[in-house]
Amino acid sequence: MNLNRIRYMFGESWIMLNRRLGAAVISVFIMGLSLLILVIFLLLTLNIAVMIDRASEELRIFVYIEDGIGRDRSQEIQLSLLGMNGVEEVVFVSKSEALTTFKEALGEESDLLDALERNPLPDAYKLKMQHDMMRSDELERLAGQIEEWDGVEEVRYGEKWFERGEKFVKGFYVVDLVLGLIIFLSVIFVISNTVRLTILYRRKTIDVVKLVGAPSSYIRMPFIIEGAIQGIVAALLALGLGFLVYYFAHRYFPGITFFQLEAALLFVLFCAVLGAVVSYMAMRRFIRI
């Protein structure tokens, strides 16, 4: 790779983009808009995934302790819980704390509880699990194991809700994946057609460059670079518009997030590669010598 060659390749791409700036702008715009659909889809997926993650993050397993087993046994249980695989955090919830929480939850109706002579709620340990343990089979196995222990009355984690939630999440991801694939393919279709038009217009240029004896890399590279540049600009456009969408949606859904910088950069890189590959494929037919 000598300097003249590199200069030639970038220079040619620059000339090609520059001399037909109007057309280049239009095709980048078309690519950008179709990528915007992909961006919005990815944003939705991201935010739903974040929501799901948060929900499972908040899930706790309650290990209820039998009344009157004594402080020592209770502490033994706590230590055993801490020692278990997949348990991240163990918090003691005394029966009085539980009652307060319960009262708060009842609100106005909490007067009813004043009628009680003594607190009917048991002491409990609240377990926070590691992320990878958040599967109904793992939780079930764990709960079953703990329930066997002496002094443990019951283990609860909203099994029914959890299982339903898990099914929903699985279903969501399947639908999401299929939808994503369809959108992705449509985007590729739109982009490759746009790029193909550009290259069709350049047919004469390709013929001339062939005629004057350009090696095939000299013929291809400017187009590949042109495709990559268009991909990058279109990706930035899509991300910019996507950010606007996010910005306005944020007013109504303050909890939502935008892509991390790394993810955004990866998207741009991906679009650059996509533009280059599509451009290469589109021109392959024309450069057979």
Partner 1 sequence: MNQDKRIIVGVYHLNKKLGKHFSLEDINLQVANGEFVFLVGPSGAGKSTLLRLLYMDNMPDSGQIVVGPYISTRIKRNTVPSLRRMVGIVFQDFRLIEDRTVFENVALALKVTGAGMREIKRQVTDILTRVALYHKRYEFPPALSGGEQQRVAIARAVVNRPAVLLADEPTGNLDPTATKNVLELLFKVNAGGTAVLMATHDIDLVRSFGQRIIYLEEGRLVRDKEMIYTGDLRERIDDSRVSKRAERMKDLDITGGKGE
Binding interface with partner 1 (CB under 8 A): 2, 4-5, 7-8, 11-12, 15, 19-20, 204-205, 207-216, 218, 289
What CA–CA distances, in Å, run from 221 to 75, 175, 228?
71, 39, 10
Residue recorded with tokens 């042109």: 226
Q: How far is the CB of 9 from partner 1 (least distance, A)?
A: 10
* Cβ closest to partner 1, residue 21 vs residue 105: 21
Q: How far is the CB of 215 from partner 1 (least distance, A)?
A: 5
Alpha-carbon distance of 278 to 193, in angstroms, equals 9
Q: How far is the CB of 40 from partner 1 (least distance, A)?
A: 36
Cβ-Cβ contacts under 8 Å for 249 (sequence gap 6 or more): 256
Q: How far is the CB of 241 from partner 1 (least distance, A)?
A: 30
**DSSP 8-state symbol, 121:** P
* Cβ closest to partner 1, residue 187 vs residue 221: 221
* Cβ closest to partner 1, residue 120 vs residue 215: 215
* Cβ closest to partner 1, residue 7 vs residue 250: 7
Alpha-carbon distance of 249 to 241, in angstroms, equals 12
Give backbone dihedrals phi and psi of 155, rounded to 5 degrees, phi first: -125, 130
Alpha-carbon distance of 226 to 209, in angstroms, equals 16
| 275 C-beta neighbours (distance < 10 Å), count | 28
Q: How far is the CB of 287 from partner 1 (least distance, A)?
A: 11
* Cβ closest to partner 1, residue 8 vs residue 29: 8
* Cβ closest to partner 1, residue 216 vs residue 257: 216
Strand, coil or helix: 156: strand
Alpha-carbon distance of 247 to 258, in angstroms, equals 9
Q: Determine the distance from the C-alpha atom of residue 132 to the mean position of all C-alpha atoms in its chain, rounded to a whole number.
A: 17
Q: How far is the CB of 240 from partner 1 (least distance, A)?
A: 29
Residue recorded with tokens 């024309």: 286
* Cβ closest to partner 1, residue 17 vs residue 90: 17
Q: How far is the CB of 14 from partner 1 (least distance, A)?
A: 12
The token pair at 233 is 């600009």
Strand, coil or helix: 178: helix
